Amino acid sequence: MSIESDIIDGKVENVVRQIPHLQDDRIGSLFLFAVTFGQEEIATRLLEARSAAIDPRIVEEVFKAAAVHNEAELVRKIIKQCGYKLTKTTMLDAAKMAAVERNIKVIKIIAEEGHLDDYINKEDEENPHLLKIAVDTGDYFFVEKLLELPTMEVDFHHIAYAEKRGQHRMSELLKLFRTKETRKYDMMDAVYDYEKDLVAVGPHMQAELERRKRVLSQSRYRL
């Protein structure tokens, strides 16, 4: 029986026994074959054992497919084993494809483990922001989850987009998020100024600065 038949039948141990004896040029096609037939465990075993032999183009294709099909652990494993074969653009594309399917766990893995801090808010006319894709799903809960990503930014045109799509509740959520973020950064600037002043002045001014700090702390709890 061929290894392809073992993959289709999900015979994990049969496949694993053959992995060390496979030619490098077969690993990539078998990896793609396993994913195509929904054999995530076999795909993972191939990745763990022979990731160096897999062509970057196949890695990118499988990565996007795994993101769309909500195969979160395979997405995580690809980033861990051969993330160096994935461009930031490919990872962002995969996150946006996952967003269409509302696969929030996959998006979080890509954003956090793929280190997309500088890319997560990238958008242009042909590549919409993750939040716009989320608005189009009509899923309020999904938008809430996206806003939990540490580096997610809400701009005014995202709020306007939600309004234009008739998603008024989402628009209010985005507006509230932006307001809180703006106040948070204003507060951080104020605390920084306070600490800078504290270093610069003598002891006779520190009582007044301590009073200012208490006011700032109380305001923070009202955010």
pLDDT digits over 150-208, tens only? 889 999 999 999 999 999 999 999 999 988 877 665 565 555 565 665 555 566 566 66
pTM given for the model? 0.74
Segments forming the whole domain that contains residue 170: 154-223
- In-domain check, residue 2: no
- In-domain check, residue 158: yes
pLDDT in tens, 70-118: 999 999 999 999 999 999 999 999 999 999 999 999 999 999 999 888 7
- In-domain check, residue 44: no
Number of domains in the chain: 1
Average pLDDT in the chain: 86
- In-domain check, residue 31: no
Residue 85 C-beta-side C-alpha neighbours within 13 Å: 21
- In-domain check, residue 212: yes
Q: For position 181, what pLDDT does the model report?
A: 74
- In-domain check, residue 84: no
Alpha carbon 154 to its chain centroid, in Å, reads 16
| N-term to C-term CA, the chain | 64
- In-domain check, residue 216: yes
- In-domain check, residue 53: no
C-alpha to C-alpha distance for 159 and 16, rounded to whole angstroms: 51
